[in-house]
Amino acid sequence: MIWGISGALLLSFGLECLYRLIDWVVLGGKRLRQSRPIEERDLKGL
């Protein structure tokens, strides 16, 4: 049961990273330059 929960969390985390990567590639980094301070603040928060 513990493995199932950790697996689900890992899967959701992987999908989130994949979604962000695809979003960045599709936009060509255009929005990334606009939201960079917010992204950096979120990364430091982690």
SS (H, E, C) the chain: CHHHHHHHHHHHHHHHHHHHHHHHHHHCCHHHHHHHHHHHHHHHHC
Length of the chain: 46
Specify the pLDDT at position 31.
58
Dihedral pair phi/psi, residue 28, rounded to 5° = 65, 25
Alpha-carbon gap, residue 29 to 35, rounded angstroms: 10
Specify the pLDDT at position 1.
74
pLDDT digits (tens, 9 = 90+) for 1-46: 788 889 999 999 999 999 999 888 888 766 555 555 665 666 666 5
